């Protein structure tokens, strides 16, 4: 197994945890400012219930955290497949490209959140993921 191939995945896991903490550190004070109390929240409440209640800039962190629980779920097994099969240095660089682009996407969405830049970062990261997936497919199916 090639441990270097797993490093980008480990960094993205840590980044996801950072985004979770950033979400909490901005959301709880904003809720408190509105007089909301987690101890008295009605049963079944969810983060989505805060849409339109909390400022958009507070919610952007939560939106990004949710995004990190979506597409990267394809990235993680792809990286494991490639690690097991022995990736090449180019594949490792593409995996790092994916992670860097996702981190930039997170920072942009959590702070500025203009759609043209955010969408470009998303598309570029998706291209990296497609390249990784095709390589994993070639190594497992076309051998």
Mean of the pLDDT values across residues 120-135?
98
Percent pLDDT > 90 in the chain is 73
116, pLDDT greater than 70: yes
48 pLDDT tier (thresholds 50, 70, 90): low
Check residue 49 and give its pLDDT. 61
Residue 104 has pLDDT above 90, yes or no: yes
Residue 129 · residue 78 · CB < 8 Å: yes
Give the CA angle between residues 103, 107, 108 to the nearest 5°. 115
pLDDT value at 51 more than 70: no
pLDDT value, residue 88: 87
% of the chain with per-residue pLDDT over 70: 94
d(Cα 63, Cα 67) in Å, to the nearest integer? 6
Q: Which residue has the higher pLDDT, 81 or 38?
A: 81
Can you tell me the mean pLDDT for 1-19?
94
What would the mean pLDDT of 104-122 be, rounded to a whole number?
98
Q: Could you write out the DSSP letters of every residue in the chain?
A: --HHHHHHHHHHHHHHHHHHHHHHHHHHHHHHHTT--GGGPPTT--GGGGTTTS-HHHHHHHHHHHHHTTTHHHHHHHHHHHHHH---HHHHHHHHHHHHHHHHHHHHHHHT--HHHHHHHHHHHHHHHHHHHHHHHHHHT--
Instruction: Write down the pLDDT at residue 54.
Output: 87
| Tens-place pLDDT, residues 24-38 | 999 989 888 887 777
Task: Tell me the DSSP string of 13-37.
Answer: HHHHHHHHHHHHHHHHHHHHHTT--
User: What is the four-CA torsion angle of 60, 112, 117, 101, rounded to 10 degrees?
Assistant: -70
**Domains in the chain, start-ordered, CATH in brackets?**
3-39+46-140 (1.20.120.550)
Amino acid 45: pLDDT: 63
């Amino acid at each position: 197994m090639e441990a270097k191939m797993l490093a980008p995945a480990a960094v993205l896991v840590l980044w996801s945890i950072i985004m979770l903490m950033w979400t909490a550190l901005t959301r709880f004070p904003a809720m408190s400012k509105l007089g909301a109390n987690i101890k008295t929240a009605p049963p079944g409440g969810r983060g989505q219930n805060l849409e339109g209640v909390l400022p958009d800039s507070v919610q952007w962190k939560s939106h990004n955290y949710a995004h990190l629980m979506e597409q990267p779920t394809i990235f993680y097994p792809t990286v494991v497949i490639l690690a097991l099969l022995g990736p090449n240095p180019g594949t490792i660089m593409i995996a790092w490209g994916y992670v860097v682009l996702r981190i930039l996407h997170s920072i942009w969405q959590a702070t500025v959140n203009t759609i043209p830049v955010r969408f470009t970062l998303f598309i570029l990261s998706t291209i990296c993921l497609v390249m990784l997936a095709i390589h994993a497919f070639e190594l497992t199916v076309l051998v």
